[in-house]
Amino acid sequence: MIVHLRADTVSVVVDARGLPSIVHWGAPLPDLSEEDLLALADEAVSPIPNNAPDVPIPIGLLPSARQGYPGRPGLRGHRAGGDWLPSLTRTSVARSASGAVIDTEGGGLAVRSTVELAPSGVLRVRHEIRNDGSHAYTLDGVETALPVPAQASELMDFHGRWIREKHPQRRHFDLGSWVRESRRGRTGHDATPAILAGTSGFGFRTGEVWAVHVAWSGNHVTYAERVHEGRGVLGGGELLTSGEVALAPGETHTSPWLYAAYSGAGIDGITSAFHQWLRARPSHPVRPRPVVLNTWEAVYFDHDLTRLKGLADVAARIGVERFVLDDGWFSHRRDDTAGLGDWYVDDGVWPDGLAPLISHVTGLGMEFGIWVEPEMVNPDSDLFRAHPDWVLAPGDGTLPPTSRNQQVLDLANRAAYAYLLDRLDELLRDNDVRFVKWDHNRDIIGARAHEQTLAAYRLLDELRTRHPGVEIESCSSGGGRTDLEILARTDRVWASDCNDALERQTIQRWTALLLPLELIGAHVGPPRSHTTGRTQDLSFRVATALFGHFGIEWDIASASPAEQEALAEAAAFYKSVRGLLHTGTLVRGDLADPSATLTGVVSDAEALYCYAQLTSSAATVPPPVRLPGLDPARRYAVTPVTPGGAPRTQQVPAPTTGTRVLSGRVLSEVGIRPPVLMPEQAWLVHLIMTG
């Protein structure tokens, strides 16, 4: 059977006559006849070169050396060293409106491969492996492979670290393998959110692009491979350590989803597909994303009721809608060396519990949120002293090295899991908490991560079932856990522990590769950055934070009256445009000058663009900037806006601040002149369709 899956922007053709393989993933095809589909599939069969196996070698969804494939195998495992290369045969194909389920079996294994294509153009694939043999089967890896054509000659992936996540890097898609592994037990700051393959020089708005993402919050691998005869694949899956998954007879393992997208119109097409897919989920947050104030960079561990009430008073006056109490509220937690695991309100700091603060916050009309880090424990804690056996460890009587003064709690330990569920359930049951900042501040090293990841999912799922009105943020020392599977059970991510607006421009730009802006926490930090020491104007910090889920992380009670007034204007402006920012189409410009960036969000009726000057330009005067995504047949009123204050410029006379009416064709093909900005300044323009 040949299965043709179609969306507006992509076609996927699956050849399921034998072991399943994809013979077309790319530009949309018409509704082909069965005869045409058979011809397409036959045309995809590779010829047989000299000094090669005497039969064609397919690239299956699970490539196999049994079929002669010389590259990275998709299914790896064994039974005590034997049955390491099972011979699978297709047994059935079930077609659905959105995909197909293909069953294969052999060598005591049954494999069910599910292929789904969403209307947005997002493709996803996963596999269920069942041990039908009479002895245990050790599973070493299940990795999906998707073919990409020869014109995909360039790769893009990402590197990063704490406070500098998601920076792109490019290379030729040469012969051999480019493998990105995360062995940190979480998604990882240095993990690539996706590997992209594209035509030479592909940009935000140009070129064909193919992308894959592994939706898994533990160890994982993503790779690009071109074998010697020239065929290329993108693939990935969970990265299993030796012996981590051993299937007893009758047991089943389900691989993480591998998500993929194709675009014929540059990176923005990939982004659009994923944003549409995420927004179509039943669990996607739909109410307006509230203005947040987080207390971390305001008070740190100095939890004083009077001070926090004063901070809440200023926050409410400015227009904050959610007040989040960060680290430091629980027992023994006066710094980051002690207390993790002791999830009881510290009665020395909070003699009457959290109720006085919560009542004050909610009385001012704001929601109350709180920080937790359930998966970790400090050695200096009552919990660790009582239950050192609850620490996730190699099993040889030793402990992994501490990191950030922490060890990891073994959530697969039923007693540890029950303790955490009880403590968190009580916290949410007994307090009017509407938001949880769920942190995860260290790598899982020196221990296995598979069961830990599944247990973390179960804990989050159970708490959401018990407290469906509570939103949860995935924070992992910033952007260390931002994959699509953690987002199946959380409502936003904290993109980075860095609130420096210059760093955030890049971090948020590429976090938004997959995630729509309403899922990306973005806060206005203090004038001097806590993490980098840079000092930046409020206007630049505000302009940067607008392109996300807007918030503030700053001791605004100590801010000047002028700064507080500017923040109030910024919060009001955000509220006026968040409907656009959080439902519109994200677009980004391909600028010739690397010192500047252009980001916009466009809807049918309006648009907002940010031209950011990151560093000094080699040119004295910037060229006109083309605004992508507009309807060329419409006219727009274009107005510069200055929430948080006007940017500083290097021009005489001062830049124009009035409204102009221009056609979408002129704006997108000729462009408009930005002002001559100083470094670390941003210029915002708001467009309203007039006809």
What CATH number should be reported for the domain holding residue 553? 3.20.20.70
Structure confidence at residue 55 as a pLDDT band (50, 70, 90): confident
Percent pLDDT > 70 in the chain is 100
Q: Give the tens place of pLDDT for each residue, 665-689.
A: 999 999 999 999 999 999 999 999 9
502 and 459 in a common domain? yes
Burial of 678 (0-12, 13-18, 19+ CB in 10 A): middle
Question: What does the pLDDT average to over 85-90?
Answer: 93
First to last CA, the chain: 50
Q: What pLDDT is attached to residue 203?
A: 98
Residue 591 has pLDDT above 90, yes or no: yes
| Catalytic residue check, 132 | no
The one catalytic residue in 439, 443, 491, 537 is: 439
Q: What pLDDT is attached to residue 48?
A: 85
Instruction: Answer yes or no: is 400 within a domain.
Output: no
| Catalytic residue check, 425 | no
Residue at a domain's end among 580, 599, 633: 580
606 and 535 in a common domain? no
425 and 302 in a common domain? yes
Residue 53 has pLDDT above 90, yes or no: no
Domain count, the chain: 3
Q: What pLDDT is attached to residue 317?
A: 98
Instruction: Answer yes or no: is 35 within a domain.
Output: yes
Residue 541 has pLDDT above 90, yes or no: yes
Pairing of the two strands 471-474 and 435-438: parallel
321 and 250 in a common domain? no
Please tell me the pTM assigned to this model.
Answer: 0.98
CB-CB contact of 524 with 538 (8 Å): yes
Q: What pLDDT is attached to residue 68?
A: 86
Instruction: Answer yes or no: is 611 within a domain.
Output: yes
Cβ burial 213-238 (10 Å sphere, 16+ → b, else e): bbbbbbbbbbbbbbbeeebbbbbbbb
Question: What does the pLDDT average to over 91-99?
Answer: 94
Instruction: Answer yes or no: is 624 within a domain.
Output: yes
Within 540-680, strands assigned E span: 549-552, 585-588, 596-602, 606-613, 635-641, 660-663
Indicate the average pLDDT of the chain: 96
Q: State the DSSP string of 506-556.
A: HHHHHHTTTS-GGGEEEEE--SB-TTT--B--HHHHHHHHHSSEEEE-S-G
3-class SS of residue 31: coil
What separation in angstroms does the CA of 112 have from each of 61, 99, 182, 248, 456? 11, 13, 26, 18, 25
In this structure, the chain runs to a length of 691
Cβ burial 364-390 (10 Å sphere, 16+ → b, else e): eebbbbbbbbbbbbbbebebbeebeeb
Percent pLDDT > 90 in the chain is 94
Q: What pLDDT is attached to residue 56?
A: 81
The one catalytic residue in 342, 497, 500, 537 is: 497
| CATH code (residue 666) | 2.60.40.1180
Instruction: Answer yes or no: is 286 within a domain.
Output: no
Residue 633 has pLDDT above 90, yes or no: yes
CB-CB contact of 536 with 529 (8 Å): yes
CA–CA distance, 246 with 255 (Å, rounded to integer)? 14
CA–CA distance, 75 with 642 (Å, rounded to integer)? 55
Range of the domain at 637: 586-689
Q: Give the tens place of pLDDT for each residue, 472-503.
A: 999 999 999 999 999 999 999 999 999 999 99
CB-CB contact of 682 with 543 (8 Å): yes
Angle among Cα 636, 592, 630 to the nearest 5 degrees reads 20
Pair of tokens at residue 510? 């590429």
Cβ burial 494-516 (10 Å sphere, 16+ → b, else e): bbbbbbbbbbbbbbbbbbbbbbb
CA–CA distance, 304 with 331 (Å, rounded to integer)? 15
For residue 426, how many other CB atoms are within 10 A of its CB?
12
Instruction: Answer yes or no: is 177 within a domain.
Output: yes
Q: State the DSSP string of 339-360.
A: -TT--SB-TTT-TT-SHHHHHH
319 and 304 in a common domain? yes
265 and 309 in a common domain? no
193 and 127 in a common domain? yes
Residue 54 has pLDDT above 90, yes or no: no
Q: What pLDDT is attached to residue 313?
A: 98
Element (H, E) at 386: helix 382-386
Q: What pLDDT is attached to residue 14?
A: 97
Q: What pLDDT is attached to residue 596?
A: 98
Pairing of the two strands 209-214 and 258-263: antiparallel
Does residue 653 have a cis bond before it (omega within 30 degrees)?
Answer: yes
Residue 623 has pLDDT above 90, yes or no: yes
Q: Give the tens place of pLDDT for each residue, 258-314.
A: 999 999 999 999 999 999 999 999 999 999 999 999 999 999 999 999 999 999 999
302 and 245 in a common domain? no
Q: Give the tens place of pLDDT for each residue, 154-208.
A: 999 999 999 999 999 999 999 999 999 999 999 999 999 999 999 999 999 999 9
Structure confidence at residue 655 as a pLDDT band (50, 70, 90): confident
CA–CA distance, 166 with 189 (Å, rounded to integer)? 8
Residue 47 has pLDDT above 90, yes or no: no
**Residue 512 CB partners (closer than 8 Å, separation 6+):** 271, 520, 547, 586
Phi and psi at 66, nearest 5°, equal -60, -30
Q: What pLDDT is attached to residue 446?
A: 83
342 and 271 in a common domain? no
Q: Give the tens place of pLDDT for each residue, 430-472.
A: 999 999 999 999 999 888 999 999 999 999 999 999 999 999 9
Name the amino acid, one letter, at 511: T
For residue 185, how many other CB atoms are within 10 A of its CB?
25
365 and 257 in a common domain? no
681 and 625 in a common domain? yes
**Residue 518 CB partners (closer than 8 Å, separation 6+):** 285, 289, 492, 549, 578, 581, 582
Burial of 675 (0-12, 13-18, 19+ CB in 10 A): buried
Instruction: Answer yes or no: is 137 within a domain.
Output: yes
| CATH code (residue 117) | 2.70.98.60
Residue 582 has pLDDT above 90, yes or no: yes
Q: What pLDDT is attached to residue 66?
A: 87
Instruction: Answer yes or no: is 592 within a domain.
Output: yes
Residue at a domain's end among 518, 545, 580: 580
CA–CA distance, 253 with 128 (Å, rounded to integer)? 6
Residue 395 has pLDDT above 90, yes or no: no
537 and 479 in a common domain? yes
CB-CB contact of 103 with 110 (8 Å): yes
3-class SS of residue 327: coil
Residue at a domain's end among 214, 245, 279: 279
